[in-house]
Amino acid sequence: MKLSLLIPTVPATVEQAVPFARQVAHDSQLTRLWQGQSYGLEPAATFAYLAGAGHRVPVGTSVLVTPLRRPAQAALEARTLAAVTGHPAVVGYGPGSRAVQQERLGAAYDDPVAASADFLRATRHCLAQPWDPPVPDTGADHRYHHAGETLPPVAHPRVQLALGVLRRRMARAAGEVADAAITWLTPAGYVGRVVTPAVAEGADRAGRPRPRVIAAVPVAVARRGRRPEALAHLAAGGHLVLPHYADMLTRAGVDVSTADPAAAAAALVAGGGFLYGTASDIAAGLVEYAAAGVDEVILNLTGVHSWYGTDETLLDLNEILAATASLHW
């Protein structure tokens, strides 16, 4: 299993991302630098700035919401990331919440899973990468009908298209159409019991190899004065109030309530969706993700960064990396 790093903040300036790009560039244990959806600076622009500043590291997005973009635009952004960094890029997409769909599109998707799969098919068609087979127009949501939408060919490293996955049906869709399935806040046991098998099922149904499974895992090292439930709330509170996250966590055996995000954050820690403890404890928790079939873990230190800043974030990160250095996933 590989380890990667999420930029642990939504950058207000591109310079805020530099210490984390530098860490990925100089630490052989870290595979990729990730950023989630931003309503401030566009992630592709942040990564392009980092590359231009000399930090040409592999990058990924986890996940960009489809209501904000058309497939041709998504394909253009994705191949730009690969071209400017000089590395294969992993670009994840998801439908976002029903509120986001309603606000950006005027109506929520009738079927978010089908719409997401169709968006991925259309984006792949726009990329028209030579190693991809022809993409049939089989999507159910024809707002992303891609007839005639292609881009002029440009040489670039490979773009891997991913779907954000929480529950079984989206995991099956990722198995059918994506290069990777990306989970967020999913405890290891749930990944192994639900996500990985469903991705494999979808791949088998489509007659293709199982896509990689990537898990973004919030973590924090236990230190005097720290409260894990507060750090979990900072890292995930915005997600815990959303019904689709609460539903996933309930299915995972984590008793959460969208009406009480503080209690939900405490439940997330108790249920293993937020890894807190010594660096060795966290390493042991990451081993469970490897056993669940996860191919890459994105270390998410957003809670630590929100409260304690960059220096303590990097201190936690380096202790975790030291604790995992001798592990054989």
Q: What is the residue range of 27's domain?
A: 2-324
CATH number at residue 175: 3.20.20.30
User: Is 60 exceeded by the pLDDT of residue 187?
Assistant: yes
Strand boundaries in 87-178, DSSP class E: 89-94, 159-165
C-alpha 81/C-alpha 76 separation (Å) is 9
* Nearest CA among 112, 100, 199, 213 for reference residue 160: 213
Q: Report if residue 54 sits inside a domain.
A: yes
Residue type, 102: Q
Radius of gyration in angstroms for the set of CA atoms belonging to the chain, rounded to a whole number: 19
Model confidence band, residue 138 (pLDDT cutoffs 50, 70, 90):
very low
Q: Report if residue 329 sits inside a domain.
A: no
Q: What is the mean pLDDT of the chain?
A: 92
Q: Report if residue 89 sits inside a domain.
A: yes
142: DSSP letter:
G
What's the mean pLDDT in 115-136?
A: 77
**How many domains does one find in the chain?**
1
Q: What is the pLDDT of residue 40?
A: 84
Q: What is the pLDDT of residue 197?
A: 98
Model confidence band, residue 132 (pLDDT cutoffs 50, 70, 90):
low
CB 242 within 8 A of CB 154: no
Q: Report if residue 131 sits inside a domain.
A: yes
Distances in whole angstroms, Cα of residue 55 to Cα of each of 4, 74, 92, 159, 175? 15, 23, 21, 19, 32
Q: Report if residue 204 sits inside a domain.
A: yes
Q: Report if residue 261 sits inside a domain.
A: yes
Q: Report if residue 27 sits inside a domain.
A: yes
